[in-house]
């Protein structure tokens, strides 16, 4: 499989509305805290626990869902997050993965230097900043442990930045786990500003015309900066989302805002550097519009603040990534021959949806939760593509096919309806006794998240579309797929519920029920809960969720 494939990673029917941390309803949070303390068994409460609210969702029927982070003895608990579901002050349920209250000592036997050294053995010598370490409670394994969170920053061989967190047992130095903060970072340097800040500019929202590489001729949200006397690729109607040019360097924080004299951007070819920026601006705008129209969400964080994207990152960089730390994306220019700049709609929606995951469920980027993290980006990136329905980028359940200069049925990053078309990803979740595509359950849990994501992608396709072979992949084509090759349990009559209902169920499951350590079993519960909320327990859509999961599970 290509390195590209591995690297890339409506108002809800019940009227739910998410709130940013700045706008959280204090009374709702107070009721959730009371519910936690009144139900210590269900919430795995210990005497040393404290909680801080991250988001609030309130349904029309008054049910309140409060997502909280947990600390123990003042230390962050990784894997201790919880969503409290209550109504009228009475706990209905709690979403969490802790199996028992935490009971660990918080005095380390290992020194900070020893922890950094233990992590450095795995990272190697190519780090670009002084490593740091802080104490945490690591509750992502079978039992919580006191650990150091050791951070090493550097650059991978393909130019992608890495900010690798190693979790080192604070008693014996064992590596308990690791996770990269870059979803496929902040880069070297702080980007700090010196001197007296300039006063805010005098700006006016405008509409520009862009000629993109991929999406055709477009209208763009831009602004006229009356102070600088120039048009800027910044959209004040979408939270000041803006596009910068990284100058083929490695520092997104030092990239330069894209500007223009006449509000006409790009020439539709790579001979104008701005053409890729046009695609990026378009993708940011349409992803913003998708989340707002379908889910009532104002921006990735739900706080009305736009992210930014840096085009022309590095040289011959065949990748794109999202960084939670800079709240930004970076786009490579491809390899200059067979791969285009990575600014297609599905890639744009994919990367920005990593930001959504970060501020909601916070799915850990490793093992099964990491696969779900990647799948969420594929799922919602695909739904952005369908929402836009641009004839230049026809929507489908194939990820990244528009990046290839010479299209073909087998040139893509991932295929949601048949993940194993890439030759690696399993189509279905292995059972303890039955592998999927030769992959055992143990190997599935350990494999790269860009491959284990395939099972959730496959589930979503079957939920939305049913056991229907997409055009161009049926019997007699090179793929030669049949309905029986799309399911793992022989249910070739499986019917889809449509994209509108499927995306509502998935979004609610992610934002209301999933937590950082949710695995595939937990995702099944979360989507069933979401379907019951939206359409009723035992409804056709609720039953369809169960049937779709059954169809992607080895028997």
Catalytic sites, residue numbers = 351, 450
Q: Any idea what DSSP says for residue 196?
A: P
* Nearest Cα to Cα of residue 146 among 103, 82, 178: 103
DSSP H or E stretch at residue 502:
helix 499-508
Nearest Cα neighbor of 326 from 221, 455, 191, 185 is 185
Spatial distance between the Cα atoms of 516 and 387, rounded to a whole number of angstroms: 28
State how far the Cα of 178 lies from the Cα of 239, in Å rounded to an integer: 34
CA atoms within 13 A on the CB side of 42: 18
Distance, first Cα to last Cα, the chain? 28
Q: Crossing angle for the helix pair 345-359 and 274-295, nearest 10 degrees?
A: 50
CA–CA separation, 502 vs 416, rounded Å?
14
Q: What dihedral angle (degrees, nearest 10) is formed by the CA atoms of 71, 75, 80, 82?
A: 30
Exposure on the CB side of residue 167, measured as CA atoms within 13 A? 21
Q: Where are the beta strands (DSSP E) in 413-473?
A: 414-415
How far apart CA 191 and CA 244 sit, in angstroms, is 14
The residues with which 127 forms a beta bridge, in sequence order, are 154
Are the C-beta atoms of 182 and 162 separated by less than 8 Å? yes
C-beta of residue 181 within 8 angstroms of C-beta of residue 325: yes
Query: For residue 424, which of 436, 442, 411 has the smallest C-alpha distance?
Result: 436
Chain centroid offset of residue 292 CA: 17
| Closest among 530, 554, 555 to 544, alpha carbons compared | 530
**CA-to-CA distance for 186 and 253, rounded, in angstroms?**
8
How far apart CA 358 and CA 383 sit, in angstroms, is: 19
**Under 8 Å CB-to-CB from 415, ≥6 apart: which residues?**
397, 398, 399, 421, 422
Please answer whether residues 344 and 400 qualify as being in contact, where contact means their C-beta atoms are separated by less than 8 angstroms: yes
SS3 of 301-312: the string is CCCCCCCEEEEC
Rounded to an integer, what distance in angstroms lies between the CA atom of residue 426 and that of residue 245?
A: 38
Q: Which of 404, 290, 295 is nearest to 349 (CA)?
A: 290
């Amino acid at each position: 499989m290509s390195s590209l494939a591995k690297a890339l990673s409506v108002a809800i029917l019940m009227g739910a509305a998410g709130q940013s941390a700045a706008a959280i309803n204090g009374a709702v949070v107070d009721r959730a805290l009371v519910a936690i303390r009144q139900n210590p068994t269900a919430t795995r409460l210990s005497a040393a626990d404290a909680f801080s609210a991250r988001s609030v969702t309130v349904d029309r029927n008054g049910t309140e869902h409060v997502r909280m982070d947990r600390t123990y003895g003042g230390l962050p608990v990784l894997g201790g997050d919880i969503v409290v579901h209550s109504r009228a002050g009475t706990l209905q349920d709690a979403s969490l993965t802790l199996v028992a209250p935490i009971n660990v000592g918080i005095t380390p036997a290992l020194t900070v230097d020893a922890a950094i050294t233990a992590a450095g053995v795995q990272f190697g010598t190519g780090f670009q900043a002084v490593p740091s370490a802080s104490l945490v409670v690591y509750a992502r394994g079978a039992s919580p442990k006191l650990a150091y969170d050791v951070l090493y920053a550097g650059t991978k061989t393909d130019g992608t930045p890495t900010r690798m967190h190693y979790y080192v047992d604070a008693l014996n130095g064992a590596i308990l786990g690791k996770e990269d903060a870059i979803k496929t970072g902040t880069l070297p340097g702080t980007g700090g500003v010196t001197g007296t800040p300039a006063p805010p500019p005098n700006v006016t929202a405008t509409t520009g015309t862009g000629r993109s590489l991929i999406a055709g001729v477009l209208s763009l949200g831009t602004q006229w900066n009356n102070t600088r006397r120039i048009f800027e690729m910044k959209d004040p109607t979408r939270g000041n989302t803006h596009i910068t040019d990284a100058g083929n360097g490695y520092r997104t924080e030092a990239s330069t805002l894209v500007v223009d004299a006449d509000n006409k951007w790009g020439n539709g070819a790579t001979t104008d550097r701005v053409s890729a920026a046009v695609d990026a601006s378009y993708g940011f705008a349409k992803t913003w519009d998708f989340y707002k129209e379908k889910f009532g969400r104002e921006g990735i964080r739900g706080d009305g603040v736009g992210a930014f994207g840096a085009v022309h990152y590095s040289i011959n960089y065949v990748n794109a990534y999202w960084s939670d730390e800079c709240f930004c994306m970076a786009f490579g220019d491809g390899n200059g021959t067979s791969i285009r700049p990575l600014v297609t709609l599905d890639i744009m929606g994919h990367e920005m949806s990593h930001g959504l995951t970060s501020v909601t469920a916070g799915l850990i980027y490793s093992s099964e939760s990491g696969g779900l993290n990647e799948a969420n980006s594929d799922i919602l990136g695909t739904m952005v593509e369908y929402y836009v329905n641009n004839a230049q980028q026809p929507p489908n359940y194939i990820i990244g096919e528009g990046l290839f200069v010479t299209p073909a049925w087998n040139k893509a990053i991932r295929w949601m309806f048949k993940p194993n078309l890439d030759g690696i990803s399993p189509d279905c979740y292995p059972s303890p006794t039955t592998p999927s595509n030769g992959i055992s359950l143990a190997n599935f849990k350990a494999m790269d998240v860009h491959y284990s994501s395939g099972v959730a992608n496959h589930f979503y396709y079957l939920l939305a579309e049913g056991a229907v072979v997409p055009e161009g992949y049926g019997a007699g084509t090179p793929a030669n797929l049949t309905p029986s090759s799309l399911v793992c349990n022989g249910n070739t009559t499986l019917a889809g519920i449509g994209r509108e209902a499927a995306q509502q169920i998935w979004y609610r499951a992610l934002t209301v029920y999933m937590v950082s350590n949710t695995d595939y079993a937990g995702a099944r519960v979360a989507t069933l809960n979401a379907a019951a909320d939206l359409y009723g327990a035992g409804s056709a859509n609720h039953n369809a969720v169960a049937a779709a999961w059954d169809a992607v599970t080895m028997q």
